[in-house]
Structure formats: C-alpha cells, structure tokens
Structure 1
Amino acid sequence: MARHDIPLWLLPLTVALVFLLGTHAAWALSVHAGIVPGCIPYLEGCNSISRAAREGLGNHLFRLLMLPNALAIGLHWWLAARWLSATGARGRTVLGAGLVAAVALAVYVTFLGTEGEVYRFLRRYGVVVFFGASFLAQVAFLRAGDSGLQAAPRIRQALRAICALMLLLGVVHVIALAVAGGSPFQDHFENALEWWLGLGLVTWFLVHAWLWKRVGYRLRAA
C-alpha cells in the first residue's frame, strides 16, 4: 500500500453522514421557523422530507448539502462498478442505475421549493426515481458482487437485510394504497415512508463504507 493511496470507504461514509445531516437539519430549522409542525416524522408522518426542506433556511441548507452529495453518490456507484470489475463481475447495471439515482436527486433538489406544474412534476418524480434507481443499484450490486462478498459474510447479510426491509416497505406501501388510498392516513404513511427509505439508504452507505474498509479498497496514487 502506497503512502498516498486514498481510502475509498470514506466516500460512502460521507454520503451517509451528509444525507443524515441534511435531512434532519432542514427539518429542525423548519420546525424552529414554524414552517412544519414539531413531531416525530418517522412515527407520525406529519411531514415529508420534501416538505421539511421546501422553504426558508432549511431549503437553502438542504440544497447546499445535497447537490454536492448527488455528485458524491454518482461517484460512489462508479467506484462500486469498478470494484465489481476488479473482482471479475459485471457492474454496468450498478453504474447505470446509480448514475440515474444521482441525476434524479440533483433534479429533485434543484427544483425543491419552486412553483409551477412542471416543477412540481420534476420534484415529485425526481424523488421517486431517486429511491427506485438507488434500490435497483443496491440489488444489482448484491447480485454482481456475490463472489466478492464471500470473504465478508456479515456485511453481505447486512446489505441483504437492508434491501429486504426496503422492499418490504414498498410492498406495505402498495397495500396501504389499496386499503386507504386518498385518506389522511395515506398522506401520513407516505410521509413516514419517505423518512424510513432515507434511513435505509443511509444505512446502506454506512455498511458499504464498512465493506470497503474491510477489503481495503483504495484509489492508487501515482
């Protein structure tokens, strides 16, 4: 190992911490400003991440943190595809889905807080595509990287558990739409769902940082 090699586990760790800080700091600022009610969004679903970061100082902070984070997420998935290639696996699906997720997040953050039908469409579907493409990249990474994860069974199990829980949330969402679609319960449930999916992504990146630290994945310096 060269002295100036860059440990790449710091990248997914940074992504996770920035995502966690950006969403919760924006929520706290919006609660303090009276823009959203004070509650436990994970349990009560009184407001979504989007609503908490739509106005005021929280919006500015959220954009300041999350736009660079979108770039970091795209870089992370590119490096993940390279890691897969180094283990003899194919990472094209991981790279493609990861880049779509990064672009979708950037679009969502850019238009958050703007007005107009087109802007509302971009905001709404930007976050949907972000979560969907992120999940696809996660599943593709697990499938392609199965051989590379053999040496880290606990990490593989943790990544699989995260994907399973996120899939379960999606299934419960579909059931909730069928049972209580159009009701106030649906709104509160979807708000809470957005927070839990965000937490799932944070956990994924934290475990991914653990993986790359475990295997010693580094960027070789010239």
Structure 2
Amino acid sequence: MEETIALDVLIYPNEIRIVTPEDIREWELEAASQLSIPTARLFVALYPYNPAAMSPNPETAAEELPFVPGQIIKVFGDQDCDGFYHGESGGLSGYVPSNMVAEVPVDDEYLKQLLVQQGFLPMENTGASDLDLSLTDAANTPDDVVVRRMVANFDYDPWESSPNIDSEVELSFHAGDVIYVFGNVDEDGFYHGDLHGRQGLVPSNFLDALPWN
C-alpha cells in the first residue's frame, strides 16, 4: 500500500515551491503582531452603584459590576453602544456604566499596579483636577525608593498615642488597614506611609509586612 504524504505549497506566478519551516515561523510572527491585546485602563467610581436596584437593564443586571465611591476599577477596551465598559475589581468582573466612573490619568505601569493593590482612592470630592493632584505625589516618588506593603496590627490615634509633639504629621489608622510605606524606618522608628491617598508618618511597631503576592 502506498503511503501518501501531504505537503503545503506556495504558488507564485512563475514558480511553485514547498512551504518551509521558516515560512511558517514568519506567518506566525506576522499573525501575532496583528493581534490586538487590550490595554487596561484605571477608572475610579464616583458614586455607589448597585446593579440590582439601579441598572437601566434589569434583565442583564447580574452581568454588571457593583461598586462604591473611590473604588478602583480596571477597564478593558472602549465603552459599548449602551455606554458601558467591561471591567474588573475586587476579584469580580462585569459591565460598568461610564457615567458613574472617571478615568484615572496614570500611564506608569508600576503605579497602576500600586493603585490596583490599594483598591481605593480618597473621595473627599470627585473633581477630575483633584484626582490628578492625588496621583501627582505618588507619581513623583523617586524610582530608587523601596515601596513596601504593610498591615496595621492595632488601632493608632496620633493625638492619643504619639510620643512626638508634632503628631499632626502622623497618620491615624485602624487594625487591618493596608498601608504602603516608602523607604526605610527613621531614627524614631517611623515610616513615611500612604493610606488611601493620605500620607504621613506611621509607627513601625504597629505594622507587619504584607507580601505583594
């Protein structure tokens, strides 16, 4: 019984030749270069949103993402014809109404990751200029400063517990709060830290390291 061998060929006006492994690799690279990988953008929720009670599309409310003011949402692609983005936050994914969120203007990938880990922005007010300002200080953190993620073991009120006279430069926090600290501890045992956009000194003996992963 004769064995049949299948070969791919290229047909040109002046020749016919067998496809080589190099041809296949070239096609694969060209196809990969044409794939559109959606770039994640960061948005912040301006208002509370409960799809079950507030969605304009009750039949698809279960596919929408609930959120609270200040919550960071990763968005992929542009909004659809109904004015919804597709996003994810807090381990959930779903549709997000564009009129309830605002884009956070940040391009630095490390800062994006930091904001996603933090999960929230301070929302004393919702003006876009204030969002820009709240990100400026974080974006200006020197590249060589080590950023650590830490968790508070106890409540801390500087006005009651601080050993320092200038306690107004310190942060108050509650047990369980996740605080990002910059650089090393100072000679008084304090870090410079950030909690939901508020920055100040935090006592190192109230904190434990919290791994990024």
Tell me the TM-score normalised to structure 1 length: 0.19
Q: Could you say which structure has the larger radius of gyration?
A: 2
Given the two structures, how large is their TM-score scaled by the length of structure 2? 0.20
Higher helix content, 1 or 2? 1
